[in-house]
Amino acid sequence: MNDLDVLKVFCAGDGRYGNLLGVVRDGRTCPDDASRQALAAELGYSETVFVDDPERGVVDIRTPGERLAFAGHPLVGLAWLLDIEELQPPVGSVWARDDGEFTWITARPEWVEGKRTEQYACAAEVEELPAPPPGEGWLYAWAWEDETAGRIRARGFPRRPDGVVVEDEATGSAAILLTAQLNRALNITQGAGSQLLTAPGPDGTVEIGGRVRFAPAGNRPPGRN
């Protein structure tokens, strides 16, 4: 597909890691629900986004199995790619900014649905979890690496029925939820080494930011050829 970009969102400082994101720049190439869902399933990324209006920032977010009203890493990636200050996913207006290194969006924690956070005693316990851990539902496992500095080690496990993505490399929405629960700025290392930065706002919002890069050609999530 010629209009498909693949991004890495929430990269480490050296540009490695980050969660892969498929972006279909011209949503007219997949005009209906069935074709969009089929492409998202075929690509197998945790999310694929269809841009319906690049000037107004109107976008449609899909996992391999469903349509989402809101998701963090797709919107951070799109804000970087489109160089736009406002995005319009189904949930409503999402403000964005870029500081030269990190791209940020401002979101509300109540937009995050279906995710549960669970604190572990130490980072080593998080590291040792099987992928996925036993149980049901979307799990964001985390532990303090340095509580004073706000540094956290986290891993995300969708545990969705489609089973396409066993572990999410970087999960913006879960980081937003955790930031609201702890009510403090966080520096999160997730997955193999992705970095997410967050800060709570005075109006109940959370700002989340990360580095975004183009992925190498032919890049696919772990487990895909």
User: pLDDT tens digits for 159-168?
Assistant: 988 788 999 9
Residues in a beta bridge with 142: 119, 154
Mean pLDDT over 66-92 rounds to 97
Q: How far is 180 from 186, CA to CA, in rounded Å? A: 10
Superfamily of domain 4-96: Diaminopimelate Epimerase; Chain A, domain 1 (3.10.310.10)
Q: Which residue has the tokens 């004073």?
A: 148
Mean pLDDT of the chain: 94
- Range(s) within the chain of domains with CATH label 3.10.310.10: 4-96, 111-210
What is the band of 218 on the pLDDT scale with cuts at 50, 70, 90? Answer: low
Confidence category of residue 198, pLDDT binned at 50, 70, 90: very high
Percent of the chain clearing pLDDT 90 (strictly above): 92
What's the pLDDT at 164? Answer: 85
Token pair belonging to 124 = 């080593």
- Dist. CA 171–CA 175, nearest whole Å: 6
How far apart, in whole angstroms, are the C-alpha atoms of residue 224 and residue 187?
30
d(CA 159, CA 106): 27
Residues 154-194 pLDDT 10s: 999 999 887 889 999 999 999 999 999 999 999 999 999 99
Residue 146 pLDDT: 98
- What fold is seen in the domain 111-210? Diaminopimelate Epimerase; Chain A, domain 1 (3.10.310)
Using the predicted structure, report yes or no on whether residue 224 has a pLDDT greater than 60. no
For residue 225, name the pLDDT band (cuts at 50, 70, 90). very low
Mean predicted confidence (pLDDT) in 112-120? 97
Decide if pLDDT at 113 tops 90. yes
What does the pLDDT read at residue 217? Answer: 72
- Residue 219: band (very low, low, confident or very high) from pLDDT cuts 50, 70, 90: low
Nearest alpha-carbon partner for 176 in 131, 124, 115: 115
Q: Is 24 exposed, middle or buried (0-12, 13-18, 19+ CB in 10 A)?
A: buried
Taking alpha carbons only, the member of 49, 95, 96, 91 closest to residue 70 is 91
What is the arithmetic mean of pLDDT over 33-54?
Answer: 96
Q: Would you say the pTM of this structure is higher than 0.85? A: yes
Confidence band for 142, pLDDT divided at 50, 70 and 90: very high
Q: Dihedral (C-alpha) 24, 30, 36, 39: value to the nearest 10 degrees? A: -70
Q: In angstroms, rounded to a whole number, what is the distance separating the alpha carbons of residues 55 and 83? A: 10
